[in-house]
Amino acid sequence: MQDEQNTSTRALGCDGGGSGCRMALIWDGARFEVVGGPANVSTDRCGAEEVLAHLLSRVTEQAGLIIGDLAQVPAYFGLAGIISEDMASALARSLPLERLVVEEDRRAAVRGALGPKAGFVAGIGTGSYLARQGADQSFVATGGHGLVLGDEASGAWAGREALRAVLAAEDGLTPGSPLTKALRHEFGGPAGIIAFAGTAQPADFAKLAPRIFDADGKGDAAARYIVVQGADYIARGLLGLGWREGDVLCLAGGLGPSYGPHLPDEMQAALVPAEASALDGALALAKEAA
């Protein structure tokens, strides 16, 4: 059995999203880290469990341990697609970790971005969320409801909107742009786009996002419309959470910083870089739970 001193120097954290999953183990001062495939519990629970089990095996092997050594290690997993306590409990029971806390992925990301300080975060990756962290570690978040019902401004949303813009141009509703014309050619016209959308996962749509921001920088009208719409959602959502001029604001996630130049001036003035990653946030929460 691990003694209290050893437990305090050990922690296991995981940041699982729609595009990939990262896991880190702190073991007596040494850090071991592994990466793997997506872990969205809502869209593919079995797949998420397989990814997590595989990463546990790899990080354990990397540290020169066996799975049983991790049973009493404080662990915190922030995973995309956790929408209920029942879902979190079921996922936790599938893993051989007795001190595991499973929650949706927003809190770990905010804890990593802000550390223990008060502030606001717009996390924009494959999905999206907006959050407020209080000085007392209170936490309130909005968004993150998935591509079908939300995830505005996210990479998946932006990619979907770009393909919608192609169809709108095809229907004569808009004049189109270099971006929509290029996508029309690559996907084989409307039929190809519709076929793609019928089976695509959020991560598949999100692969188009970097091209949208690149096209926006070149003055593409369709891309600019998408980016402005995304920035407007972020600004309105932050105000709804209580953001006021002077409050700290961090744009996190793979796409978050790309929206910075499109936010209102007072929000741009409040921007601070993320202190650490969502994985670091998960480790911090695991240590605090200990």
220-254: pLDDT as tens digits: 999 999 999 999 999 999 999 999 998 999 998 88
pLDDT of residue 288: 85
Domain holding 81: CATH number?
A: 3.30.420.40
- The larger pLDDT score, comparing residue 119 to residue 38, is at 119
Assess whether pLDDT exceeds 50 at residue 5. Answer: no
Q: What percent of the chain has pLDDT over 90?
A: 64
Pairing of β 249-252 and β 139-143: unpaired
Between 78 and 9, name the one with better pLDDT. Answer: 78
Together in a domain, 59 and 100 = yes
Q: Do residues 104 and 219 share a domain?
A: no
Give pLDDT, residue 2: 42
* Same domain for 255 and 199: yes
Distance CA 138, CA 177 (A): 45
Does residue 206 share a domain with residue 76?
no
Mean pLDDT of the chain: 90
H helix runs in 94-147, sequence order: 106-114
In this predicted structure, what is the pLDDT of residue 135?
87
- 122 and 255 share a domain? yes
Residue 61: CB partners within 8 Å, gap ≥ 6? none
Rounded CA separation 63/55 (Å) = 12
Residues 180, 92 share a domain = no
pLDDT at 184 over 90: yes
Same domain as 246, residue 129: yes
Beta strands at 119-124 and 128-133: parallel, antiparallel or unpaired: antiparallel
The angle subtended at Cα 157 by Cα 218 and Cα 280, nearest 5°, is 95
Both structure tokens of 189: 């016209």
Q: Compute the distance between CA of residue 167 and CA of residue 170 in angstroms, rounded to an integer.
A: 5
Whether this prediction's pTM lies above 0.85 is answered by: no
* pLDDT for position 4: 41
pLDDT of 6 above 70: no
pLDDT exceeds cutoff 80 at 17: no
- The separation between CA 134 and the C-alpha centre of its own chain, rounded to angstroms, equals 21
Return the H-helix or E-strand segment holding 119. Answer: strand 119-124
Number of domains in the chain: 2
Q: Are residues 222 and 179 in the same domain?
A: yes
Give the pLDDT of residue 91.
Answer: 86
Task: Indicate if 124 and 238 belong to the same structural domain.
Answer: yes
Once rounded to an integer, what is the mean pLDDT over residues 108-133?
92
Do 134 and 74 fall into the same domain?
no
Query: Which tokens in the block code for residue 85?
Result: 């306590």
Residues 239 and 264 in one domain: yes
Is the same domain home to 73 and 90?
yes
Neighbours of 31 (CB within 10 A): 11
For 239, the 3-state DSSP assignment is: helix
Q: What proportions of the chain, in percent to the nearest 5, are helix, strand and coil?
A: 50, 20, 35
20 C-beta neighbours (distance < 10 Å), count? 16
What does the chain come to in residues?
290
pLDDT of 41 reads 79
> What does DSSP assign to residue 115?
T
So what's the pLDDT on residue 8? Answer: 57
Q: Which domain holds residue 168?
A: 117-274
What's the rounded mean pLDDT across residues 247-275? 94
- pLDDT, one tens digit per residue, over 190-223 is 999 999 999 998 889 999 999 999 999 999 999 9
Average pLDDT over residues 48-53: 88
